[in-house]
Structure 1
Amino acid sequence: MTDAYRCLENVRSCYVSISYNFIKERMNHHNINGLSVSVIESGQISGIENHGLLEAGSDNKVDNHSVFNACSISKFVTALLALKLTDEGFLDLDEDVNTRLKSWKYPYNNSKDKKGITLRNLLSHQSGVMDPEGSFMELNANIGIPSMAEILGTTPYCETPIDVKYQPESDFYYSDAGFCMIQQLIEDVTGNSFIKVVKELLFDPLKMTNSTFLQNTSEEINMNVSSGHNKEGEVTEGKYPIYPYPAASGLWTTTADLSQFILETINALHNKSRVGISANSVKEMISAQGCKSWTGLGVFLDGSGKEIEISSFGWGKGFQCMMAAYPYLGNGMIIMTNTDSGVHQLKGLIGEVYYSLKPLLNHAQS
């Protein structure tokens, strides 16, 4: 596989260009319609590679402005926003979130000590909150979008009211509900919608002009927004799956825009944040949390020391994507596809690209 990659002399550092013939063959093998890969080296985007089509049967090619559904990579963005608001005093990582929740509060569990849930617990998926079976699916146009407080109560999107199922910090359970709670918390402390807060505090200062949160099917769809595809490579019903839970899975963006969040993480770690996130907050984010050594705040961890890797994965109807970064080294990658291949990201095309780029990015550049 390494033979399929070559370094280009006309771009800075050692940006890796994916061999066109190789990637075309692998895309065909996995029935992937569109792919975009952004590579970050030494704190800069060193190149973006685009392949395939925005929609099967069309002639619209993927380019640097093509928008994909980032799915659960939205949680990485939410974590950065939460850290920003923590630095500003709106939030506290270690206090019971019920202290600042207004529109909805979680019911305490039945344990004698009534241990509260903290923002740190929620960001690291160790809050004791578990997603009810069959919950948090894509938008049902016939139902519309209830308020987040209603969703956390009882709606067709989550038919069982959210409560605490196990002792916080005693175990890990990946939870969309936990990030819905974070969204409600952010809206309550700021007095604004989550989408507005993200735009004002992150999108605008980072000049992310190709990022949005689609919230209903009647919104105008730009030509550069990709359609979703199933594992056979066919366009999914509705084309544009929408999740009415922005903080958990609502982000639509490009690899170029999403790279700005990696760059912000790198810059903040070196006291050069463009949005006002402190180095200490980023160090918390990329440090092991609670009972799991591989869980940070809104990201997953691998390795240690200066070569620690942070990652986030997105998988939804018609889309799969991944981000990985090495904050201390200033390197990273974004891989986005407009196809649900039906297997974990690391077992498909995304994994093939990731494992080929990783050896070049997880060490200091000479």
Structure 2
Amino acid sequence: MLEILTSLVMAISPIEAAAEAMLPSVIIEGEEPQEGQLADWMADYDVPAVSVAVVENGKVVDVKAFGPIDGQTRFNIASLSKPVTAFLSLAYLEGRGNTLDIPISELLADWELRTAEDVEEVDPSDITLAQLLSHRAGTSTAGFRGYAATDAIPSLTQILDGSDPANSDPVIVERRPDQGFRYSGGGYQIIERALQDDSGESFAALAKRTVFDPLGMKNSGFGQPGENHARAHDAEGTQLEGGYRRYPELAAAGLWSTAEDMARFVIAMNSALAGESDLVSKEGATRLLTPPDDSVNYALGFGTGLNANDRFFAHSGSNAGFKAIMFGFPDRDGGIVILTNGERGPIVYRALADAIADRMGWPHPYREVVREMALDADETAKIIGLYRLDDFSYLIEASETGLTMSANEGDRIELKPIEGDRLLREVDGQFFGLDRSPNGEVDAILLRGTRIPRAS
């Protein structure tokens, strides 16, 4: 009888069980959170498809697809490209007897990194690959907007130089590397160029040979997605023209993959940390998860930290109409990967990740009970204004009910002031910290560790 019961328990899909009862990842103190099914969350937030995989004890134990897709449907996973690029960089360099501390100039053939005119005493030839991976090289260009199906697609050189038809600025060193974390997708494009130059292979071919083929990630690739791919959708659930925006910035944002393939990547990273990888050393993998300073919990291509004394590594991905999350739990040899194809995907994947953690008996990755705070007129005046970093802008304005935010001149969305000097964008569960001057004025907002300074 015990064996039968055990078999029945094991037969229950943790993903399907989680999908039946999900709570918001952020709960306002004093409010009653409403439980719902994944199908309702997807409908409410205009997310047509969700792909999920769970890792336990070093194996992919569950894979499920919701919506008009199957388990082999590829999603653009945006900045989840970065941890894969970090792992690829480590495997490639260790295979040649080098380390991540190699100056990037030693790998580049015919492109040179430049510094801004007002940055003094910085020799760009000394910038290392490790500094670029950790977003601590002082390089520019936080992210990329992508290209419509009818747009001309720039070459890697045009992206780095910011020349037509690239829609992003040149990638340069715009502040000293010793000034700490500054998120830079542009830095990853330098890495892409360096690995191509040094190996003599395209970045896509190098990744396939070095990472995807050895790990059995047969549905993953940098570049175009193939026939079985998800279509991106905006915040109202409308499919983007051409099905998706193109991201030629491969190392930073151009990977297409499946939840199951990325679960295999989580297993590979967990194995490497345990010293059981044929691709990278334990020391190298540990370095990837070691932040070089205490400015933020971002290491070399991976976010990292402790959750209820459980080690984790993680990365989110956010391209137009595609939102994704990956968690690895090395001490449990486990992980969660969730891919979505809707602009409001984060509010869905956060709730689903917490529900899966409930079923697995793991700490919640996201769930937090917060207290809403009241703002008087003086405090409101200190917060409202325009905040800008590269091509990304956030306008915070006063409204009849409090505060609103419009990102990149989009719709105004309500913000709630929360304890801990934070603002909550409740529509997607995103927190923004407030970085204040000594007199209490807000000089910048903080988004996932990135400082976005006030422009007006």
List aligned pairs for 1:76-155, cutoff 5 A: 76-89=83-96, 91-108=98-115, 110-112=119-121, 114=123, 116-131=126-141, 136-140=144-148, 144-155=152-163
Which structure has greater strand proportion? 2
List aligned pairs for 1:225-304, cutoff 5 A: 225-274=229-278, 276-303=279-306
Quote the offset at 1:305 in angstroms. Answer: 10
Question: Which runs of 4 or more aligned residues in structure 1 lie more than 4 Å from their structure 2 counterparts after TM superposition?
Answer: 12-16, 140-143
> Within 1, Cα distance between the matches of 2:240 and 2:14?
37
Q: 1:330 to 1:101 in 2, by over 3 A?
A: same
> Within 1, Cα distance between the matches of 2:179 and 2:348?
35
Q: 1:354 to 1:304 in 2, by over 3 A?
A: closer
Checking the alignment, whether the CA contact within 8 Å between 2:291 and 2:297 is kept in structure 1 is yes
Q: 1:143 to 1:92 in 2, by over 3 A?
A: farther
| Map of 1:330 onto structure 2 | 333
CA deviation map 1:199-245 (0-9, x unaligned): 11111111222112234xxx8x41x2111111111211110322001
> Within 2, Cα distance between the matches of 1:352 and 1:305?
18
| Map of 1:178 onto structure 2 | 187
Using CA pairs below 8 Å that are at least 6 residues apart, which structure has the higher relative contact order?
Answer: 1
Letter in 2 for 1:130: S
> Within 2, Cα distance between the matches of 1:12 and 1:286?
33
CA deviation map 1:48-79 (0-9, x unaligned): 122112xxxxxxxx221111111110111101
CA deviation map 1:165-210 (0-9, x unaligned): 1110312111110100110111111111100000111111112221
Checking the alignment, whether the CA contact within 8 Å between 2:101 and 2:129 is kept in structure 1 is yes
| Map of 2:413 onto structure 1 | none
Q: Extract unaligned runs of 5+ from structure 1.
A: 1-6, 54-61
> Within 2, Cα distance between the matches of 1:353 and 1:159?
34
Letter in 2 for 1:92: T
> Within 2, Cα distance between the matches of 1:315 and 1:174?
14
Q: How many residues align?
A: 337
Q: 1:13 to 1:338 in 2, by over 3 A?
A: closer
Checking the alignment, whether the CA contact within 8 Å between 2:107 and 2:195 is kept in structure 1 is no
Checking the alignment, whether the CA contact within 8 Å between 1:41 and 1:330 is kept in structure 2 is yes
- Quote the sequence identity (%): 28
Q: 1:92 to 1:111 in 2, by over 3 A?
A: farther
1:352 aligns with 2:335: no
**Over aligned residues, Cα RMSD in angstroms?**
2.6
Checking the alignment, whether the CA contact within 8 Å between 1:12 and 1:46 is kept in structure 2 is no
SS at match of 2:39: helix
Query: Which of 186-195 and 18-27 deviates more?
Result: 18-27
> Within 2, Cα distance between the matches of 1:253 and 1:279?
25
| Map of 1:40 onto structure 2 | 55
Letter in 2 for 1:44: K
> Within 1, Cα distance between the matches of 2:222 and 2:97?
23
Q: 1:143 to 1:29 in 2, by over 3 A?
A: closer
Checking the alignment, whether the CA contact within 8 Å between 1:312 and 1:322 is kept in structure 2 is yes
Letter in 2 for 1:356: A
> Within 2, Cα distance between the matches of 1:15 and 1:307?
21
TM-score (norm. length: structure 1): 0.84
> Within 1, Cα distance between the matches of 2:257 and 2:199?
24
Letter in 2 for 1:249: A
TM-score (norm. length: structure 2): 0.68
| Map of 1:18 onto structure 2 | 18
Checking the alignment, whether the CA contact within 8 Å between 1:13 and 1:41 is kept in structure 2 is no
Q: Extract unaligned runs of 5+ from structure 2.
A: 1-6, 21-35, 364-456
Checking the alignment, whether the CA contact within 8 Å between 1:331 and 1:361 is kept in structure 2 is no
Larger-gyration structure (1/2) = 2
| Map of 1:59 onto structure 2 | none
Checking the alignment, whether the CA contact within 8 Å between 2:149 and 2:242 is kept in structure 1 is no
